[in-house]
Amino acid sequence: MAFSETNIERLLEQGESAGVFSKAVAGFILPDGTTHIVTHNTPADTVFDIASLTKVCPTSTLALCYILEGKLHLDDRVAEFIPELQTNYRDDIRVFHLLTHSLDYRVPMKTLRTLPPEGILNALFTYKFAKAPGADFNYGNPASVLLGMILHRLTGKDLQQQGRERFFEPLGMTRSGWDPLTREWNTIPKGEICPTEVCEFRGREICGEIHDESAWVLRKLFPVGSAGMFSCVPDLLKFVKMVMNDGVACGPDGKEIRVAPAGILDMVSRNAFTREDAAKFMPACNSAAGSTGAACDSPAGSFNAGILPAGDAAGTNPAGAANGACTALGWELAQSKFMGSRVSPRTFGKTGFTGASIVADPTAGAAAVLLSNFTYPHREANADRIHAFRASLADAFFGAV
């Protein structure tokens, strides 16, 4: 069975017929290294708000580069970079917890959108955790906001500048970055950006400005690590291909260049909770886990229960992990809900609220990127339908290669 653009076109047509989106671009990396792009009602280089793909492109991948270079460490205390952090367990929160979303923030950042940017940050800095760091997996925006702040303070450069210097310019990602309408370099005409939503909160159509409300408010201070990036499928394919090649890429001039340190692929394609050093980031159950917080409430709700022995070759889904937790450092790992059933356990990726996704299988040497206007004209109550489409797209592609 071979890759078929016709089959992908048919799937995109079905997605529109079902009302999942009206515009989409799908890009693919084949095992031989070639790329293919299939469009639906919009050009291949259409720029989209990639929402939470920002968490990996560039935020967490930047962090992993610095870790491999020895400039940042998984056991660095977050408070050393962000002394304003005054939560309970303050001294126990490490960079590892940010990269694995194992901080028990139970505050949807959407509920903070009416606060000024300083108020949003203060809510994160003074939050009272019910569980110790490492006690549970809780995906959300706060960890990525804090991680982005650390990278800013570590380098003295905001995420826009770091992403541009490390990834966008070396890889020729000329249509990627924050503030596409107003930045000083490679501005994008509004007509080349896909509108994201007719927003009730802001009372207008959102196009070329950050869709995520809290990230939009925080942008008054700096680009945040959780959301706000804009990109296009051709650019994201270059980024994903670089990661799959363990940091090596073909530069704009055709010469091979190293963009990220060797070892980056291993970090994003195995379960972080089965690392040899993972135990020190997890509280012991049935003991006081911090001076002012509660201990793990049960083995089923704790990372520490049964997580140390490795699972399969990728270290995925070890028995007893918190809620079946399986995540790589900074990236999602082996998630069938959007990756489908035809990929290996080493498959890493990410989704974005606006209808974006990356699925990359290093075992197959193949990857799929989807950008769509799932939230236009209005967001849905949940991501069930876009997840189902993502999984179908992944099955169709990876089943053929």
Give the three-class secondary structure for 197: strand
* DSSP-based helix, strand, coil % in the chain, nearest 5: 35, 15, 50
Helix axis angle for 5-17 and 384-398, nearest 10°, is 170
Token output for 364: 């197959």
pTM for this prediction: 0.92
Separation of alpha carbons 340 and 396, rounded Å: 9
Angle of CA points 345, 349, 350, to nearest 5°: 140
Residue 306 burial (C-beta neighbours within 10 Å; 0-12, 13-18, 19+) = middle
Q: Produce one character per residue of 319-329: b if its CB has 16 or more CB atoms within 10 Å, e if not.
A: ebbbeebbbbb
Contact 350, 331 (CB under 8 A): yes
C-alpha dihedral (369, 373, 375, 380), degrees to nearest 10: -70
Contact 28, 397 (CB under 8 A): yes
Nearest by Cα to 27 from 19, 36, 15: 36
What pLDDT sits at residue 288?
A: 35
Instruction: Give residue 322's identity as a one-letter amino acid code.
Output: A
Token output for 26: 């799908």
Give the three-class secondary structure for 124: helix
Determine the CATH number of domain 5-398: 3.40.710.10
Q: What average pLDDT does the segment 193-203 reach? A: 96
Place 325 in a pLDDT band, splitting at 50, 70 and 90. confident
Separation of alpha carbons 116 and 123, rounded Å: 11
Model confidence pLDDT, tens digit, residues 240-293: 999 999 999 998 788 899 999 999 999 999 999 999 999 899 886 423 333 333
Model confidence pLDDT, tens digit, residues 340-385: 999 999 999 999 999 999 999 999 999 999 999 999 999 999 999 9
Place 110 in a pLDDT band, splitting at 50, 70 and 90. confident
Nearest by Cα to 322 from 342, 337, 301: 301
What pLDDT sits at residue 1?
A: 62
Nearest by Cα to 111 from 202, 213, 225: 213
Mean pLDDT of the chain: 90
